[in-house]
Copies of this chain bind each other. A is one copy, B any other.
């Protein structure tokens, strides 16, 4: 996205980071938010041998996991107070083996409608200072109004 997007919730950043912290899977795999702006979210994941497929590369499901969370939080950052985010669907193309020391999923909102938000996420592998694109996701997220992300809110 060229121009910066406008959040509708002044607390968007606290809200996103709090929600991310409650995604138990992110801690299980060791993923962290690396960058966050209204309409974009970047998630970083160091390589771990126990998250792999049969050849020792990161499993496509884990590449997808960080791409989905990056897409979801890019979308959530633009939502009004009291709303929560839902993944409707996504499509992922895998472009190269997920081989590297660290993986970065960069989600960025392509179009933000009232109910549906379209997000693109690129995943890259970082290795010895170089960066290789390994996957590309195109996702549809839904904004559920009046359905707080923290049920107790």
Interface residues of A (CB under 8 A from B): 19-20, 22-25, 27-28, 49-55, 59-62, 64-69, 84, 86-96, 110-111, 113, 115-116, 118, 120, 133, 136, 138, 140, 142, 149, 151
Chain A interface, >50% SS class: mixed
CA distance A68 to B92 in the complex (A): 11
Q: Is the CB of B23 within 8 A of A59?
A: yes
Task: Please judge, given known A-B contacts A61-B62, A89-B89, whether A52 and B24 are in contact too, CB under 8 Å.
Answer: yes
Determine how many copies of this chain the complex contains: 4
Task: Please judge, given known A-B contacts A19-B54, A110-B136, whether A25 and B91 are in contact too, CB under 8 Å.
Answer: no
Neighbouring B residues of A91 by C-beta, 8 Å: 89-92, 138
